[in-house]
Amino acid sequence: MLTRRSVLGAAGAVLTLTGSGWSRFSASRAAGAPVTPGVPSGTAESATLEALPGKKPLIRLAYRPPNYEAPLDYFRSPITPNDQFFVRYHLSDIPDVDAKTYKIEVGGDGANGQATLTFDDLKKLPAYEVVAVNQCSGNRRGLSTPHVAGVEWGYGAMGCARWKGVRLKDVLDKVGLKPEAVEIAFNGADGPAFDKTPDFIKSLPVWKAVDESTLIAYEMNGAPLPHFNGYPARLIVPGWTGTYWMKHLISVTALTKPQGGFWMNPAYRIPVGMFPVVARFVSQENATSTPITEIVVNSLITSHADGATVQAGTVTASGLAWDGGYGIATVEASTDGGKTWSEATLGEDLGRYAFRPWSFAFAARRGKNTVTVKATNKIGQTQTATLLFNPAGYHNNVMQTVTLNAA
Mean pLDDT of the chain, nearest integer: 93
Average pLDDT estimate for 40-46:
93
Question: Structural domain boundaries of the chain?
Answer: 98-146+158-291, 298-406
Among candidate residues 336, 297, 333, the one with its CA nearest the CA of residue 317: 333
Considering only 14-18, 196-200, 316-320, which range has the smallest mean pLDDT?
A: 14-18
Count of helix runs (H) and strand runs (E) in the chain: 5, 26
323-374 per-position pLDDT tens digit: 999 999 999 999 999 999 999 999 999 999 999 999 999 999 999 999 999 9
Q: Which residues, at least 6 apart from 376, have a Cβ–Cβ distance to it below 8 Å?
A: 297, 328, 329, 330, 331, 332, 382, 383
Rounded to an integer, what is the distance from CA 156 to the centroid of its chain? Answer: 10
Q: In a 3-state reduction of DSSP, which class is residue 322?
A: strand
**Helix or strand (DSSP H, E) at 334:** strand 328-334
Q: What is the pLDDT of residue 388?
A: 97
83-116 per-position pLDDT tens digit: 999 999 999 999 999 999 999 999 999 999 999 9
Considering only 126-130, 190-194, 402-406, which range has the smallest mean pLDDT?
A: 190-194
CA–CA distances in Å: residue 104 to residues 10, 13, 168, 251: 13, 11, 12, 5
Q: How confident is the model at residue 150 (pLDDT cuts 50, 70, 90)?
A: very high
For residue 31, is pLDDT > 70?
A: no
Q: What is the pLDDT of residue 195?
A: 87
Backbone angles phi, psi at 86, to 5 degrees: -65, 165
Average pLDDT estimate for 278-301:
97
Q: What is the pLDDT of residue 137?
A: 98
**Helix or strand (DSSP H, E) at 119:** helix 119-124
- Proportion of the chain above pLDDT 70, given as a percent: 92
Q: Exposed e or buried b for every residue in 262-276, given b needs 16+ CB within 10 A?
A: ebbbebbbbeeeebe
Residue type, 345: T
Q: How confident is the model at residue 24 (pLDDT cuts 50, 70, 90)?
A: very low
- Proportion of the chain above pLDDT 90, given as a percent: 91
CATH architecture of 298-406: Sandwich (2.60)
More confident residue, 196 or 132: 132
**Superfamily holding 98-146+158-291:** Oxidoreductase, molybdopterin-binding domain (3.90.420.10)
For residue 308, is pLDDT > 70?
A: yes
Q: Where are the beta strands (DSSP E) in 211-327?
A: 215-220, 223-224, 234-236, 249-255, 269-271, 289-291, 298-301, 309-310, 313-322
For residue 30, is pLDDT > 80?
A: no
Rounded distance, CA 371 to CA 362, Å? 9
Rounded to an integer, what is the distance from CA 91 to the centroid of its chain? Answer: 16
51-69 per-position pLDDT tens digit: 999 999 999 999 999 999 9
